[in-house]
Chain A
Amino acid sequence: DVQMTQFPSSLSASVGDRVTITCRASQATGSSLAWYQQKAGEAPKLLIYGTSTLHSGVPSRFSGSASGTDFTLTINSLQPEDVATYYCQNYNPGPLPFGGGTKVEIK
């Protein structure tokens, strides 16, 4: 089964900074990678699917990319409303593992 290793587990950055989160798959998985944002006390929300396609309504400062088995979520110009925990997920094939999460805070 594919396992997803996400890092860093937490980060603190200033408003306006560029933030990068990485998810490494244990084996080749194609482009079936999604990113979710979960704010405190809320359900997760889909941000990106297919490695780099933004879900409807997601601000363009979010972007996704891949290099081999490394998948990256980038937030260009971090905003206060981006404070959240971010999770990656490989969704094809199963068993649909999530990464461990990255908590993003404002410095």
Chain B
Amino acid sequence: EVQLVESGGGLVQPGGSLRLSCTASGFRFGDYAMHWVRQVPGKGLEWVSGIIWNGHIKAYADSVKGRFTTSRDNAKNSLYLEMNSLRSEDTALYFCAKDSEGSNWHYFDSWGQGTLVTVSS
């Protein structure tokens, strides 16, 4: 069974930094692209970032480009999101999601339960 477990969320001040992690199990992590998707409580889904199987291609939403960095460690079955220069509008539940393919973007066939990031002074 595929499992994705996010961690690292919390309260951070505007301008601060936070690193999210997603630990995967139940599938060959290194074979698949992975994504971060966020959701402001009570609002819709926003794709944040994606990374292909080997980490060589990454993509970001315009809203986070230049501030967020996605990486992965296939040996540790882990996905990361380094978030810098955080703003109040980054407050959201951050989901880790598994792509159905490895080297390009496709649909997301498994999701974690999310970790909450709150940016506030």
Contact = CB atoms under 8 A, between A and B. Distances in A.
Do the two chains belong together in a single complex? yes
Nearest to A9: B44
A49 B100 contact: yes
Contact of B107 (A42, A89, A94, A99): A89
Interface residues of B, number: 24
Contacts of B111: 43-45
A87 to B, nearest CB: 5
Contacts of B104: 92
Contacts of A55: 109
A96 interface: yes
A93 B105 contact: yes
Per DSSP, are chain B's interface residues mostly helix, strand or loop, or mixed? strand
Contacts, number: 65
B44 A43 contact: no
Interface in A41-68: 42-46, 49-50, 55
B35 to A, nearest CB: 7
A43 B95 contact: yes
A101 B113 contact: no
Interface of B: 35, 37, 44-47, 50, 59-62, 95, 100, 104-114
Interface of A: 32, 34, 36, 38, 42-46, 49-50, 55, 87, 89, 91-101
18 contacts: A34-B108, A36-B45, A36-B108, A38-B45, A42-B113, A44-B108, A44-B111, A46-B107, A46-B110, A49-B107, A87-B45, A91-B107, A91-B108, A94-B59, A95-B60, A95-B62, A96-B47, A101-B45
